[in-house]
Amino acid sequence: MKRDIQHLKFLVPIIGIFLMAFSGFAADVRMTIEPKRISLLDRAILKVEYTNTDGTAIDIPEVEGLNIQYQGPSRRMEMINFKTTTSVTHSYLVTPSKTGNFTIGPVTVQFKGGEKKLSANLEVVKPEDDKKAQEVAEIMFSEITADREAPHVNEPFGLTLKVYIKDGVQTVGGFNIVGGTPDQGLDGEIEWEVINRGREQKNGQIFNVYTVKARVKTLTAGTFTFQPQVQLNVVIPRQNRRSYQGDPFFGDLFGRQETRRFILDCNKLDVEVKPVPMIGRPDSFTGGVGLFDFNVEVGPKEVKAGEPITVKMRIRGRGNLTQITPPKIPESLDYKLYEVRSVPAESANEVRFEQVLIPKSDAVTEVPEIEFSYFNTTTTDFRTITKGPFPVTVEPAPQQTAQVIATTPHLAQQETQVLGRDIIYLKSRPKHWKRTSDQLWFNTTAFRILSALPLAILLLGGLIRARRSRLNGNVARARRQQAPGAARKQIQRAEQALRKSNGPVFYEALWNALTDYFGHRLNLPPGEISAQRVSTAFDQQRQSVESVFSAIEQRRYGVQPEESSKEEMKQLLRDLTALLKQCERVKL
């Protein structure tokens, strides 16, 4: 009995050691981000760590204002107090493009131990909270203004957006204007148009200024807020961001650069839109809001009863021309009015209408006066313009009597004329008989071909029209078909630059070939094309995509190769061509 107790004393520590070892095998997964508070010029590392289980990289949902790129996995194993722990960590690089508080996730992850929802919070400090972010706001920003302080409903007013970029800051491509407009109450989408590009001095510094404008019209009254987001890609140093001038975008000693997307600060613009008053509104008001002129022409002025007279009306000026309904001609029992119709205008600042009037009798002596009323936004009251009356001369319709046509007796009673002879003898048998149908042109093969040709052309035209309709209705499909041709054009340009040993033009053409092809193929705007987006769509070609993107960006934004590196340029061109051919065979 004592011996058994001694054996148990010996086994208890061993069993404890094994229990401690096996207790470390509890599977788990978690998501962390460090640091949790950064500025616009900093980055954070997001980690998804699987403990005591294997796990693959997860698809992080898109977060507006953050660019999240997968960096790769790492493994670790450690033993503490006979407790073994293994982990697999997938890292993501998080780059902010605007300030604010962001939540990444939640995302559901399945692993050997079960299922878990993961999320992480990141704070990107505001400009006034961080010196580095303040420098970005001073280097790049945008301002929006309106040309009217208090417009009325249906009155167009102008918006002017100026984008300021400090002289010397290198940008890639253009810029995009996203959001920042009211969700409802506007008449259609806002269409921005680039007016000009210039240079201005502001706060003692020189800026490149892009001016874009848009015309806006509201359908309802109230306060409308505009604060558009301007997105652009900026080339900044990858390391040693600070220069001797204290500017985060200058002073890169080794030429190491990267492209970062930024969302520029923009002021908040509130536009108070007033309603058109009901008091004092005349009956002839047809919805015009602005400042207009009214003109009427009537013709012809001399007609017969039952013949048409055309009344031509023209409204010209500044305002909501497209919302104006045609002025009304007073009705009468003496004439008949037909439906008014809109006719093409000669300029963009006018509308034209035509209406047909038919007098029923000669009692009509004039076309009555026509009134056009509108709300004058300058004087803030209703104005009425009256044209006419227009004198016309109407003659009575001619009286038409029935006419009886008599027969001529001598024609009906003509005597029969006797010919000299009334027997015609048959001709003798000809030497050769010939079918008359052989000489008919419509029995020839050429005629049959020509007869079928219009039908063939009609069928071909129908097929072409149907194909164009499908392409017009499917923008993504239309752009997909344009991808090979767009890339081929830029590759030919690169080949010409290679023969001339023109490095900058060569790498610019390669970059355009990449962006043109994948922009059309994936139906992406220019600012959305990146190695991550492309490799996500073409997972099998991920390594080639990242390699080609990295090589072209490095040469395009970094150190250019010397004349002796022409073979390297040829190899890069071959790699790009091979990559595009591989992607062209992939069905998405």
Flag the least confident range among 151-160, 232-241, 491-500, 572-581: 232-241
CB 74 within 8 A of CB 15: no
Flag the least confident range among 32-41, 247-256, 383-392, 524-533: 247-256
The answer to whether the predicted template modeling score (pTM) of the entire model surpasses 0.85 is no
Q: How many residues does the chain have?
A: 588
Instruction: Note the pLDDT of residue 305.
Output: 87
Burial 397-426 (b: 16+ CB within 10 A, else e): eeeeeeeeeeeeeeeeeeeeeeeeeeeeee
Instruction: Note the pLDDT of residue 161.
Output: 93
Residue 339 φ/ψ, nearest 5 degrees: -60, 140
Top pLDDT among 411 and 225 is at: 225
| Average pLDDT score, the chain | 79
Mean pLDDT value of segment 30-49: 86
Flag the least confident range among 367-381, 420-434, 570-584: 420-434
Q: How many CB atoms lie within 10 A of CB 132?
A: 16
CB 143 within 8 A of CB 55: no
Mean pLDDT value of segment 310-328: 90
pLDDT interval class at 47 (50, 70, 90): very high
Mean pLDDT value of segment 300-315: 91
- DSSP string spanning 83-123? EEEEEEEEEEEEEESS-EEEEEEEEEEEETTEEEEEEEEEE
pLDDT of 414 above 80: no
Residue type, 410: H
pLDDT of 417 above 60: no
Q: Which of 114-123, 524-533, 549-558 has the highest mean pLDDT?
A: 114-123
CB 192 within 8 A of CB 212: yes
Instruction: Note the pLDDT of residue 514.
Output: 85
Instruction: Note the pLDDT of residue 507.
Output: 86
Top pLDDT among 174 and 21 is at: 174
- Residue 535 C-beta-side C-alpha neighbours within 13 Å: 15
d(CA 33, CA 50): 15
Helix (H, G, I), strand (E, B) or coil at 459: helix
Residue type, 507: Y
Instruction: Note the pLDDT of residue 103.
Output: 92
